[in-house]
Structure 1
Amino acid sequence: MIKEILAHPWFGTWVAALIAVPLALLAHRIGGLVLRRITRPAPAIHSMVLNCNAAARLVLPLIALLLVWQAAPDDLRFIGNVRHLNGLLLIGASTWLAVKAISGFADGVLAKHPSDVADNLQARRVLTQTRVLARTAMTVVLVAGGAMMLMTFPGARQVGASLLASAGVIGIVAGLAAKPVFSNLIAGLQIALAQPIRIDDVVVVEGEWGRVEEITGTFVVIKIWDERRLILPLTYFIEKPFQNWTRHSAQLLGAVFIYADYGMPLAPLREEVERIVKAAPEWDGRFFNLRVTDATERTMQVRVLCTAATSGLAFDLRCTVREGLIDFMQREYPQFLPKMRIESESSMHEKRQEPQQQPML
């Protein structure tokens, strides 16, 4: 029995494989410890090394096995199939390793720029660039890995050659079908580099106010203020106009409009605006004022400007100022609230006659 095993054509190859795999795992263990130690000063590289640990544990033994199969005699039974299978597994594992490396590097970059701070403009810029570029790179790696696996099959190469030979109409159809994919890919790169929008930006799109919740490889998710989600393709933000309230800063200038009768004195209104704004915790202390910005045949339009650190605080501050002014006028000057006056001809005649009446002696 032992002699038969020793005489088997695969015996030497299997022994080499049984030795190569533990050696590869040992190399993985030692190399991982060394890399983790030397990459600690670089958080992004260190995160990438940690993220690649599981994938590298599979890649190194497959490389060792591939060397063993390549060293085996070519006339060994099934050696061609074993080499092919090992090659497919190695390509798949290498693709997984590349994806994990990209993901780990992105996680390390994001860890250095936390976005949960008050002034997170730079962090949101890095977050958007990192996520979009990482997803684009991972997509390219997956497509390349799949293409390499297909190219190991002779039949797939023949199919590809025949498709290229008859690529007239098929090429046009494929180009038209792939246009949205490539358009979104290019738009994603433009958004990552030029950054018309970033994660957590406050935008007004299609008449809706919301925040950029997610940017994928094909679409953008906008979280509307009432917790609905608006899904838009990446190309929308390259081809169409929209409002970005946090492009360079989250600070905003809010406006409040109040309509009052012409008899309303402005000095008490200014004093009340100053009291309300300075008492409001939403005010950032930069600026406020009150001006009469319009006059109609019935009322005057009073505008109050006030600043806040973010769009959400600006909205709350505007509501506070509006409610405070209405309450003030209702309490102190109710007679000067906007109202419709309808006077009869007899009352108008009496008013014209009143100055001509003589005082009674």
Structure 2
Amino acid sequence: MFRELDLTRYTLDLPALIHAVSYVVLAVAASLLIHSAVFALLRRIAARTETGADDLVVAKLHAPSRWAILAVGISLVAQVDSWVAYFWLGVSKFVVPALLGWMAFAIVRAFALVLDIRAEAQEELAAARSQRTRIAILSRTATFIIVFITVGLMLLGIPGVRQVGVTLMASAGLAALAVGAAAQPALKSLIAGLQMAITEPVRIGDLVVVDGFTGRIEEIRMSFVVVRMWDERAAIVPTSRLLDTSFENWSRVSEKLSGPVFLHLDPATEVAPIRAEFERFLEQQPEWDHRMGTLVMTEAHPESIELRLGMSSNSIGDLFALRSRVREHMLDWLRREMPDALLRHRLEVEAANARVRP
């Protein structure tokens, strides 16, 4: 690049070089001053509003806008100074696309944060999860597109890469096949992510069962979904798998859920006292939402019977706690009040020997 520079003209013209440096310094100082004044005004305006969304937008745009206004100032100086124009033309091929991409990325991130805050403020949990899922997927899709275009524009500034691009365009058929084959996994993930945002089979915060893993959807990305289990383990599930196979979503419509506790007892057990104790204990539990509270006999075999104690709660976590508490209480009550109802598969050797002794 420097071979095009006339060394006899520029290296010996020291005053011109000093003027160029002076112009650049003045442009940088003026750009920083204008940027500080503009953002000071924006912060005052944002501080007067009740919501904190505009504060987030201003904070996210502060750094990229500062560098962008510096680039604008130097480009203006390049219009009047040949030294600055020479160096700026070489650098601007990379700086301008990078700054534009940074600005677009900052705008996407700022608006994603604003929409996420508004989604969390909603009272309806299902609608909030739906909005957060769409925001996460669409913002990542926009980020991927911004990065792809930015890198492409920066690479086009390199003469060798541009020549390769022209060669590939000349052989468009072969290039299309090669690019299509190489980009198939990325395009599949991109399409699966967009389909996930539109159809919403799962949302951030849903409780799901996938491939034997039970947990909450913690994060949804273009290529995979993170399922956080109760013991803090994380299962990484490909996004396409959630669209191609069946899975359970326990909170698809609402967090309200019902669940059973099973008791296997002796066939001679009287059921009415157990039902009365179950209903009495259930009335005292704050997790019960009074939608469902029934005890029915679901199985009857010669050696045992099965009682199903159904209950419901407003959230999945409350239901788990309620079922655990009911299970513990009913077994303890049976041991104290109706010990003959519990099944025994033990050899009572001493009692048997006592019965057969003369």
**TM-score, normalised via structure 2 length:** 0.84
Residues of 1 paired with 2:50 and 2:192: CA distance?
35
Amino acid at match of 1:148: L
Question: Does residue 1:57 correspond to 2:66, yes or no?
Answer: yes
> What do residues 165-201 of structure 1 show as CA deviations (whole Å, max 9, x unaligned)?
3344453243222111111111112222322212221
* Residue number among 18, 37, 40 corresponding to 1:33 in the alignment: 40
Partner in structure 2 of residue 242 of structure 1:
247
CA distance in 2, matches of 1:123, 1:44: 17
Q: 1:42 to 1:166 in 2, by over 3 A?
A: farther
Maintained 8 Å contact 2:334/2:341: yes
- Residue number among 106, 110, 113 corresponding to 1:100 in the alignment: 106
Q: What CA distance in whole angstroms lies between the structure 1 residues aligned with 2:12 and 2:171?
A: 53
Q: Secondary structure at the match of 1:287?
A: strand
The offset of 1:275, in angstroms, is: 1.8
Q: Which has the larger radius of gyration?
A: 1
**CA, structure 1 residues 11+274, in 2 after alignment: closer, same or farther (shift >3 Å)?**
same
Cα distance change, pair 226–42 in 1 and its aligned pair in 2 (3 A): closer
**Whole-angstrom CA distance in 2 between matches of 1:86 and 1:154:** 14
Q: Percent identity?
A: 33
Question: For the residues of structure 2 that align with 1:212 and 1:7, how far apart are their CA atoms?
Answer: 65
**Residue-by-residue CA offset, 1:317-350 (whole Å, 9 max, x unaligned):** 22222222222222222223335799xxxxxxxx
Structure 1 residues 52-79: Cα deviation after superposition (integer angstroms, max 9, x where no partner): 1011111101112112213434xx5x84
Counterpart residue type for residue 70 of structure 1? Q
Which residue, 16, 37, 44 being the options, matches 1:9? 16
Q: Secondary structure at the match of 1:263?
A: coil
Q: Which stretch of the first structure deviates more once superposed, 297-306 or 162-171?
A: 162-171
Residue 25 of structure 2 is matched in structure 1 by 18
Q: Distance in 2 between matches of 1:97 and 1:47?
A: 14
CA contact 2:192–2:222 (8 Å) conserved in 1? no
Q: Determine the C-alpha separation between the residues in 2 that align with 1:239 and 1:44.
A: 38
Question: Matches of 1:153 and 1:80 in 2, distance apart?
Answer: 16
Q: 2:215 touches 2:228 (CA, 8 Å); kept in 1?
A: yes
Q: Deviations over 1:266-300 (max 9, x none)?
A: 21011111122122233223221111122223222
Q: What is the Cα deviation at residue 301 of structure 1?
A: 1.8
Contact 1:282 1:314 in 2 (8 A): yes
CA positional deviation for 1:246: 1.1
8 Å CA contact retained: 2:75, 2:88: no
Deviates more, 1:205-214 or 1:118-127: 118-127
User: Measured at CA, do residues 341 and 79 of structure 1 come closer, stay the same or move farther in structure 2, by a change above 3 Å?
Assistant: closer
Q: 1:155 to 1:173 in 2, by over 3 A?
A: closer
The residue number in structure 2 matching 1:346 is none
RMSD: 2.7
**Partner of 1:269 in structure 2?**
274
For residues 53-202 of structure 1, the aligned pairs below 5 Å read: 53-73=62-82, 79-114=85-120, 120-202=125-207
Q: Which stretch of structure 1 is more off in the superposition, 18-27 or 7-16? A: 7-16
The amino acid that maps onto 2:160 is G
SS at match of 1:294: strand
The one-letter code sitting in structure 1 at the alignment partner of 2:324 is: C
1:95 and 1:239, CA in 2 relative to 1: closer, same or farther beyond 3 A? same
Write the distance in 2 (CA, Å) between the matches of 1:328 and 1:138: 59
1:309 paired with 2:314, answer yes
C-alpha distance in structure 2 between counterparts of 1:118 and 1:67, whole Å: 51
Asked if the contact 2:288–2:322 (Cα under 8 Å) also holds between the matched residues in 1, the reply is: yes
Amino acid at match of 2:280: R
Classify 1:89/1:318 alpha carbon distance in 2 versus 1 (closer, same or farther; 3 Å).
Answer: same
Q: Which runs of 5+ in 2 are unaligned?
A: 1-10, 348-358
CA spacing shift, 1:7–1:211, aligned 2, 3 Å: closer
TM-score of the pair, normalised by structure 1: 0.83
- Tell me which amino acid in the other structure corresponds to 1:225: W
Deviation of residue 233 (structure 1)?
1.4
Q: May I ask how many residue pairs the two structures share in their alignment? A: 335
Tell me which amino acid in the other structure corresponds to 2:268.
G
Counterpart Cα distance in 1 of 2:240 and 2:80: 52
